[in-house]
Structure 1
Amino acid sequence: MFRASEHAKGTGQRLFADPLAVALLPGSLRLSAKLLAVRPVSSMLARYIDRQWPGARTSGIARTRLIDDWIAESIGQAEQLVLLGAGFDTRAWRLGALDAVKVFEVDHPATAKVKRQRLQAAGADMNRVTFVAVDFEIDDFEVRLRDAGFDLARRSIVVWEGVSQYLTGEAVCGVMRWAGRLAPGSRFIFTYVHEGVIDGSVAFDGADKVVAKVGVSGEPWRFGLLPGELPGFLRERGLRLVSDLGADQYRERVMGQAGRDMHGYSFYHTVLAEVGDA
């Protein structure tokens, strides 16, 4: 919905285009999303969301553009892109820079099935993606990726967005160790939440409401990191930190002055890391 709302702003005003975002919404929300093109409706919805969940919308939109930019900057030196836990990501169709790159989407079979059905109904070219169905509870995603044609020896970009906070520390470390074994020069883009949100040791504007909501939904946040410890954490897993931006920083980076006036979700971080030489 956030991506659909940004697309509705039109050329020259939006941070990115995503014509498939509406098609990926459940039917009950598609009409509402189409109304976003009506300026008063869009403004009212944005104000309502920003009051209910301070920073969630602006963080999500800015994070999308930031990751888009990092992919575009890295694509010239990569041959493969992996969207790990892809969800309803549409970068394979949105980003022209990916035309010459093999794209793998790794996700749960049920989620992938719904996504493919909605994309096919919207007329999307399904050949742009190699779908890799993985039940992370029982399957080895490394084996499934390899069987689908992913080559660990080729320089790659891996995007792991909006996932790590839901997993155990053991699971997160396992993914990062895998990323650290990619070909030297590969890029690993991921998000995390500040550990202080998980254990309650640091207060962030709006964090209590967000944590309570995800807890009630049955998918509580379980894992976080401390920004000061991130370089060492990555280094131990074969990765070098290139950039670690909190929401306040990446909003300002992609939105300029408008971003500096936005608040909330400052506990959310987006990271660019690189695989070093073995």
Structure 2
Amino acid sequence: MEGVTQYIPKESTADTLQKIKTLVASGSTLLITYVDQNVFDDPSRVADNTKACSMILKQSARVGEPWITGWTQEGFADFLKECGYQVVSDTTCKDYNDKYLAPLGRKLDEKDIINLERLVVAKLL
């Protein structure tokens, strides 16, 4: 579920996760992204370029697809647990830039990274 949760209410994400549980086996892996609540509340905590955060929020609203939902890291882990999933990892773009792109010689320049979304790997309990 990449790039979805910020566009829908938390209840809709919960409903989707419950439906996924009926389709996959226990122990299955879920990949899901969410927007850090700081994007809405304090962009300086997630990006050096706070203007970029503001621009993205304004642009998404302008095209009729506003970002309406964000979570804290702890809050999202708790949310997933309530939905029957256990977080395995919760990373930022910078994390996977360093871990995956750098070894391939494809590392992004630090100034081009805005940690708006977090990527979670979780297991269905």
Question: Which TM bucket (shorter chain)?
Answer: 0.7 to 0.9
Q: Which of these two proteins has the greater Rg computed from alpha carbons? A: 1
Q: Please report the RMSD computed on the Cα atoms of aligned residues, expressed in angstroms.
A: 1.9
| Corresponding position of 2:2 | 161
Match of 1:217 among 52, 63, 70: 63
Q: TM-score, normalised by structure 2?
A: 0.81
- The total of aligned residue pairs comes to 116
Contact 2:6 2:70 survives alignment (8 Å): yes
Kindly indicate whether residue 86 of structure 2 is the aligned counterpart of residue 245 of structure 1. Answer: no
Q: TM-score, normalised by structure 1?
A: 0.39
Deviations 1:199-240 (A, max 9, x none): x33433221111111111111001111112222221111001
Q: After TM superposition, which residue ranges in structure 1, 4 or more long, deviate above 4 angstroms?
A: none
| Corresponding position of 1:150 | none
- The structure showing larger relative contact order (alpha-carbon pairs under 8 Å, at least 6 residues apart) is 2
Match of 2:107 among 246, 259, 265: 259
2:14 is matched by which residue type in structure 1? C
Deviations 1:157-215 (A, max 9, x none): xxx111111111211111122334542111111111111223x3343322111111111
Match of 2:35 among 193, 199, 210: 193
| Corresponding position of 1:183 | 25
Q: Percent identity?
A: 25
Contact 2:43 2:53 survives alignment (8 Å): no
SS class of match (2:107): helix
Q: Which runs of 5+ in 1 are unaligned?
A: 1-159
SS class of match (1:272): strand
Contact 2:93 2:118 survives alignment (8 Å): yes
Q: Which runs of 5+ in 2 are unaligned?
A: none
Kindly indicate whether residue 74 of structure 2 is the aligned counterpart of residue 232 of structure 1. Answer: no
Kindly indicate whether residue 117 of structure 2 is the aligned counterpart of residue 268 of structure 1. Answer: yes
SS class of match (2:118): strand
Structure 1 residue 273 displacement after superposition? 0.6
Distance 1:193 1:180 in 2: 22
